[in-house]
Every structure is written in structure tokens, then in C-alpha cells.
Amino acid sequence: MSAQTKGEKLFRGIAVSAGICRGKILVLDRAQHVIVKRQLAEAETAVEVGRFEKALVQTRQQISEVQRKLIENMGTKEGDIFEAHLLMLEDRMLVDEVIRTIQEQKVNAESAFHAVSERYAAALAAVDDEYLRERANDMRDLTSRVLDNLLQVRSQVDLRKITEPCILVGHDLSPSMTAQLDKKMVLGFATDIGGKTSHTAIIARSLGIPAVVGLKTASEEFETGDYALLDGYNGTVVVNPTDQTLFEYGQLSRIKASLEEKLQEIQKQPAVTLDGKFIHLSANIEDQNDIEAVIANGAEGVGLFRTEFLFISRDSLPTEEDQYKVYRQVAAALKPHPVIIRTLDLGGDKFASHLQLAQEMNPFLGWRAIRFCLAQPELFRTQLRAILRASAEGNVKLMYPMISGLDELNQANALVEACKAELRAEKIPFDEKLDIGAMVEIPSAALIAETLAKRLKFFSIGSNDLIQYTLAADRTNEKVSHLYEPTHPAILRLIKMTVEAAHQHGIWTGVCGEIAGDPVLAPLLIGLGVDELSAAPPVVPQVKYIVRRLKITEAQELAAFALQCESPSEIYARCQKLARDTAPSLFDSKT
Ligand code: PEP
Ligand code: MG
């Protein structure tokens, strides 16, 4: 059916990365295969066995093809990943058991195969051997491929093989998946689940790729190959858009383009309010490929370098040298501006599959970030040494994530001191005066900000986590996204408390969570006394635009109102009013 005859369909989700794109949809994963158990007549069993055998042959051919291409492009090691799949396909025990089930129980092939393979996978998953447990995943992967063929569902997409720019649609796109994409081939992202601050959304924003999450059923309803328009400003996806819709969005794109020009004009200007208050505007980055975007968007350095992406976009741990090269490159390129390198924040929704960490019931409350690093001192020291060495080449600052109390800070500082002593002994240069700061993203850290401030040179408020932990609302769960309120009075009080403690001890406070890049909320943060805002490079110009039209007195009045107001929505409405009055062109283009 052509796009026109199928008819336009509008889907609403959560806008997480601004921009409009249009193009063909590529559905990455079906949520689940629907397996209907069918009782067969005697005569049908042979047909079902035939279908099963044909699906096995097809699957073998497909896997061999993927394997061949992988070896061609990346070498034997990568190609070997599929060896286990092929061996399983040839496992006579499994194949015979499925055939027997079809013949004896007289059930259809997909139902028999699914039941048997699930039993195999469950048995493997229960074994007390890491290697075999891994094979359970292979088994499930393989099952899914065979079922694709039996049910004639389009086969799973190999992300590295995308050859045409497209809008990626998935139930969820894990950060490790998105980190490995060929970015030139991705026009936009659309997912069933997720929230504004899930890491997939953050990556989309930092790549400047429009994205809509929380679409609930997109991955089931959208068809690969359909044409769609994705609106990352308003959180909608229009499948098979009519000419009228395309025309309206064309206008919106033109309005946005003229705004882009205005933003470009202030690229080199400082972020100073009309009454002369300077706000340090910096950028959040994931790796050295973001350097260009930091400069192009007029950010003054890096307020948050999320180093975990160096760990999850590869198959093994990066060495000290690997890390040093990257940190040094960023520091040298952005000198004299500061580059705040945050130590590893793995866990939560960021995993490195090669580390094979055990699954946890509550990953966001679990073995994450500084907790993980302090328990893995060798891994941590490797990173600390790399950061220290890079500090000789630029204005590097070091920042710990997820500090919840003084003990963690003391332990981390002790490791830094040990690394410094080693480097001194080895006569390797580093910045002796390197500033160390901490993220304030756990309520306990805000509540003991005074204690921490005495021992640090800066704070950076990680509002993404601070909000989820304060309000007990998972940042990645769209079902509780209505509770995830940045203007909740509890959040504002914690920010205020942090800023005050910092200023009393003569140190500065930034915000590097996603609210720092929201022009509606930035004035409130400035009014609360925040000194620095760090945001994804593509949104930095908007924040600068509003700062340059704002008076600090207006921001302070807004903050004073917010601190005595009891209603998050009233506070948000006031923020919106000030932002719209101050910089109408940032907002006058909603459809
Ligand atoms: C935060 O929590 O606000 C933050 C900036 O860190 P991350 O999003 O990487 O958890
Ligand atoms: Mg965080």
C-alpha cells in the first residue's frame, strides 16, 4: 500500500529532543512474537515439520551472511560471536525434540519450537557458570530469529548495517545500542517507553537528533518502510503524513530555521544578563567527537563529560592510555575553558555488556557510579590516573558522581591522592591544583552540602537523578513521568540549600541535569543562585539567548515566588510566563 492510501495517523509521546525530521521508518525490535498454539490434524504434522526445517535453513543462511559481513568489516573475533548461534542451530537434540513435540503433541511448529527453546534457555540461565548463562541470551536471540522466519516477521535489524538514513523505532533503545549507531544514518528516534531524562533521550539531544519517547505502542504499530514525520518539539509522530501536514511542518521548519540564524549570531557572545550578571554556560559531552559541537554552539567548555560512554561503546575496558588520549584531546581542544571530567557513572540505565554485571532489582538504587568505582579500585585508579595526566594539558577538573555521604568522598579523595603520589614518583606531569567537585544528585548530598562544600571546589547539581530520587519517580518510566516535576518545592529547596552551602564556603554551583538546558527553567535556576549551567551542545544557544534577554532581578523575583509557592504547576506556569515574555521567539513556533 502506498503512504497516501494508508492514511495519516498521529501518535503522541514525550518530546525529548528538539527538531523535525521526516523519512522512512525502521522498526528495530518487535515487542514480542505472538505465538498461538494450534492443535493439528494428523496429516498436518509433516507440513509443520517441513516449515520448521525450512525456517532453520533460512536462519542458518541469514546468520552465515551476517557473520561473513562482520568478518569482512571487523575481523574474525567479531564474526565469532555468531559461532554459538550456528552450533545451537545444528544441535540435533534440540531439533529432534522440537520435531518430536510437533509429531507427538500435534502442535504447530512455532509453538513447539518456542516451548522447547525456552526450556533450553531457562536451563542455561540457571547454570552457575557465566559462560553458559551467556549462552541463554544466544539461545533467546536465536529463537527470535527462527520465529521471525516461521512467522514471516521481517528479520531483526543489524544496526551496523543500516544503509539509508531513517527514523529508528524501538520498544526501547538502550544507551549501549544508541552509542553504537552510525549517527549519519539516524534521522530521529521514536520509542514506546522512556522519559525526558532517560539516557537514550540524553544521547539523542546531545547528537542533535529529534526524538520522541513514551509512544507506548509505536514499535508494534509502525511498519518498517512507512514514511513518517517526527516532531521533537511537540512530541508527535505522524505516520503517512498528508500533503497538508507536510506543508504545515514545512512552515514550522522555516520558523525554526530563522530562529537558528538568530541563535547563531550570539554564538561568540557571552551569557550575560541585561543587568550584567555573567552565567557560565558549558556543555555536556559523551566523547571526543562532541568537541566540535561544543565550540560550534558557543559553550565555554564542558560542565559534564559523561565518561561512561567510553566504556559502553566498546567490547573491553579502555586502558589508562586509551582514556588519557581522549581526555587530553578534549582538554587541549577546549583550553583555556574548563573541562569537567566526571568519573565513571556506570549502572542505572547505563551498562557495559562486557563487564557482565549481575542484574539488580533496583539498578538506580544499586551498584552504580562511585559505589561501583570504589568497589573496583583498580578500574577506578586507571581512570583517575588518566584524568590526572590529562590535567597537564588543559583546564581539567575532576568530578565524582552519586556522592551520598562523606565517607565516599573521603575514600575517593584518598584514591586520587594515591594516584597523584604515583605520578609524582613516576615523574609524570599533572595539575597539582586540579579542582575536585561532586555531583549533587542524591538528596542526602544536598542535605549535607555544608559538610561536602568544605572539602570541594565546586558542586554540579545532577537534577536528572536528584528529581528521581527525591520524588521516587524513575526517570526512565513514562508511567510516572507526571510525578517527575522539576518545579516541585522539594527540589527547589534542595537546590537552594546546595547553592547557599556552596557560596558560604566560597565555591560555585552548577547544574548539569537536563533542566539546565531548558529555557523555561534556566531563569529559575539562575534566580536560585546557580553560577553555571551545562547542557547538551545543541540547546546551549537557546539558553544563552534567554540569559542575554533576562534581568537577574526578574530571575530572583521568580525564585522568591517559587520558594514560597506550594504548587509545582503554578511555579512552572510562572517560569513559562517569564520565559515567553523574555524570549518569545523561542516559543512562538509550536504547531
Ligand atoms: C544527572 O543526574 O542530572 C546527571 C547529569 O547525570 P546523569 O544524567 O548522567 O545521571
Ligand atoms: Mg546522574
- Ligand 1 nearest-atom number relative to CA 284: 5
CA distances from 57 to 82, 84, 108 (A): 15, 16, 18
- At 75, is the secondary structure helix, strand, or coil? coil
Copy the grid coordinates of residue 58. Answer: 533460512
- How far does residue 199's CA lie from ligand 1's centre (Å)? 9
- Ligand 1 nearest-atom number relative to CA 462: 3
Residue 3: the pLDDT is 38
Residue 1: the pLDDT is 36
- How far does residue 468's CA lie from ligand 2's centre (Å)? 10
Q: Which of 439, 467, 469, 484 to mutate to test the pocket of ligand 1 (most atoms within 8 A of CB)?
A: 439
217 — pLDDT class (breaks 50, 70, 90):
confident
- How far does residue 441's CA lie from ligand 1's centre (Å)? 8
Residue 174: the pLDDT is 67
Query: Region 203-228: what's the mean pLDDT?
Result: 88
551 has a pLDDT exceeding 70: yes
CA distances from 19 to 233, 381, 538 (A): 6, 40, 10
Q: In this structure, which CATH number among 3.40.50.620, 3.20.20.140, 3.30.1330.10, 3.20.20.60 belongs to the domain 270-586? A: 3.20.20.60
364 has a pLDDT exceeding 70: yes
Task: Return the residue whose CA atom lies nearest to atom 6 of ligand 1.
Answer: 462
| pLDDT tens per residue across span 168-196 | 998 877 665 666 677 788 999 999 888 88
Within 6 A (CB) of ligand 1 lie 202, 304, 306, 345, 441, 462-465, 512-513
Q: In this structure, which CATH number among 2.60.40.10, 2.60.40.420, 3.40.50.2000, 1.10.274.10 belongs to the domain 42-151? A: 1.10.274.10
Phi, psi of 223 (to 5 degrees): -115, 135
The sign of the CA dihedral 326, 461, 403, 359 is negative
| pLDDT tens per residue across span 286-305 | 999 899 999 999 999 999 99
In the chain, what are the domain boundaries? 3-30+157-240, 42-151, 270-586
Q: Average per-residue pLDDT in the chain?
A: 90
| pLDDT tens per residue across span 34-71 | 778 889 998 899 999 999 999 999 888 877 776 676 56
378 has a pLDDT exceeding 70: yes
pTM of the predicted model over 0.85: no
The whole-angstrom separation of Cα 451 and Cα 409 is 11
Task: Return the residue whose CA atom lies nearest to atom 8 of ligand 1.
Answer: 464
Phi, psi of 350 (to 5 degrees): -120, 110
Among left, alpha and beta (phi > 0; psi -120 to 50; other), residue 402 is left
- How far does residue 54's CA lie from ligand 1's centre (Å)? 48
| pLDDT tens per residue across span 93-137 | 999 999 999 999 999 999 999 999 888 888 887 887 767 766 776
164 against 589, higher pLDDT = 164
87 has a pLDDT exceeding 90: no
Copy the grid coordinates of residue 567. Answer: 504548587
155 — pLDDT class (breaks 50, 70, 90):
very low
The whole-angstrom separation of Cα 579 and Cα 4 is 40
| pLDDT tens per residue across span 308-349 | 989 987 778 999 999 999 999 999 999 999 999 999 999 988
DSSP state for residue 353 in the 8-state scheme: G
Q: For the chain, what is the total number of helices (H) and then of strands (E)?
A: 25, 16
Task: Return the residue whose CA atom lies nearest to atom 3 of ligand 1.
Answer: 462
Q: Which of 465, 474, 533 to mutate to test the pocket of ligand 1 (most atoms within 8 A of CB)?
A: 465
29 — pLDDT class (breaks 50, 70, 90):
low
Q: Half-sphere exposure of 514 toward its Cβ, with a 13 Å CA cutoff? A: 24
- Ligand 1 nearest-atom number relative to CA 345: 9
Residue 75: the pLDDT is 60
394 has a pLDDT exceeding 60: yes
Of 151-165, 298-312, 421-435, 525-539, which range is least confident? 151-165
- How far does residue 48's CA lie from ligand 1's centre (Å)? 52
Residue 591: the pLDDT is 42
Task: Return the residue whose CA atom lies nearest to atom 1 of ligand 1.
Answer: 462
Q: What is the CATH number of domain 3-30+157-240?
A: 3.50.30.10
336 against 82, higher pLDDT = 336
The whole-angstrom separation of Cα 346 and Cα 353 is 11
| pLDDT tens per residue across span 246-302 | 999 998 888 888 898 999 999 999 999 999 999 999 999 999 989 999 999 999 999
Instruction: Tell me which residues are annotated as active site.
Output: 199, 512
| pLDDT tens per residue across span 465-508 | 999 999 999 998 889 999 999 999 999 999 999 999 999 999 99
Residue 362: the pLDDT is 92
Query: Region 221-240: what's the mean pLDDT?
Result: 93
Q: Which ligand is nearest to the CA of 462?
A: 1
Task: Return the residue whose CA atom lies nearest to atom 9 of ligand 1.
Answer: 306
Where would I find the H helices in 336-429? 369-375, 377-390, 406-425
- Ligand 1 nearest-atom number relative to CA 441: 2
